[in-house]
Chains A and B, each alone.
Chain A
Amino acid sequence: MNEFVLVACTILVLVGTAAAMLERDPFNKLISLAVMISGIFPFIIDRGFLDVAIATALIAPLSTIFILMVCRRIPA
């Protein structure tokens, strides 16, 4: 993995984490978490862990869906 892709994925993770910390609205937090998780996949793939990547790709968004079931949008 060359340095450009390494830096780009690190920026994705850091920006997603910072936004998830600073956002107020729960949906915006979940979207920022999705950005953060997108950033870690190239690291897993680069090492050759394809089965770990498939498992993480199926588990991480499913956990977001379970969190969505907990926080419902309250009608204004």
Chain B
Amino acid sequence: MIAVYVCAGIAVYAALRVIFQRNTMRKLPFLNVVSFAVTGTIALLLPHPITIAAAAAYFVSSTLESNAIASTWTGGIKKDE
């Protein structure tokens, strides 16, 4: 089943693009590709109904984290003093 190889390979490629990209905001689309690929790998490793919840939890949390990084970079989050 070569789908797992595709997802794992794309994860490594995108991780290397993340590291070698200099600009912080332009790293985030590559990090998004890493999240997609790891979510696919998770689902392909263990086909069980609860895996859908694990994959969705990982993906949504990773998206929320990227969003938080991007928002804080522009100074968007209000400071709670």
| Chain A residues within CB distance 8 Å of chain B | 1-2, 4-5, 8-9, 11-12, 15-16, 19, 25, 27-28, 30-32, 34-35, 38-39, 41-42, 45-46, 48, 50-51, 53-54, 57-58, 60-62, 64-65, 68-69, 72-73, 75
Contacts and interface: CB of A to CB of B under 8 A. Distances in A.
7 contacts: A19-B19, A32-B19, A39-B38, A50-B50, A50-B51, A51-B50, A53-B57
A8 B69 contact: no
- B: contact size bracket: 35 or more
Interface in B18-38: 18-19, 24, 27-28, 31, 34-35, 38
